[in-house]
């Protein structure tokens, strides 16, 4: 059967059952499909997994802040009434959140899989 795209190549690789189980386990740890895991591992050599479960509350808080900012912007556009001091306060608050997130993200350790 001829391939439709001449730039694609296919290669069959044979694994033992034990090897395949290990690959599937590692792919599941990375939340990747097995084929995606194999391709990534073969091209880059290493895959790093970051546990982001601890950041979920922070992301939810950022979503709430974003909704509030959008509501403020909508109200300001409707009333044509916006104070520069309010905008500067909001910018400062957002900058502080971003700084805190960046500091926290720099401390996250990765697990080499």
CB atoms within 10 A of CB 37: 20
- pTM tops 0.75, yes or no: no
The pLDDT value recorded for residue 110 is 64
Q: How many CA atoms lie within 13 A of 63 on its CB side?
A: 6
47 touches 37 (CB < 8 A)? yes
The pLDDT value recorded for residue 113 is 58
b/e code 93-113 from CB counts within 10 Å (16+ = b):
eeeeeeeeeeeeeeeeeeeee
Q: Domains of the chain: which residue ranges?
A: 17-46, 53-112
pLDDT at 37 over 80: yes
pLDDT at 109 over 70: no
Q: How many CA atoms lie within 13 A of 100 on its CB side?
A: 11
């Amino acid at each position: 059967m001829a391939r439709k795209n001449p730039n694609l190549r296919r290669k069959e690789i044979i694994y033992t059952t034990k090897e395949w189980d290990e690959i599937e386990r590692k792919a599941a740890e990375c939340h990747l499909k097995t084929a995606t895991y194999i391709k990534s591992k073969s091209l880059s050599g290493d895959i790093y997994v970051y546990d982001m479960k601890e950041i979920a509350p922070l992301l939810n808080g950022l979503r709430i802040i974003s909704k509030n900012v959008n509501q403020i912007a909508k109200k300001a556009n409707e009333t044509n009434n916006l104070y520069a001091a309010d905008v500067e306060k909001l910018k400062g608050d957002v900058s502080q959140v971003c700084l805190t997130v960046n500091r926290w993200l720099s401390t996250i350790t990765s697990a080499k899989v």
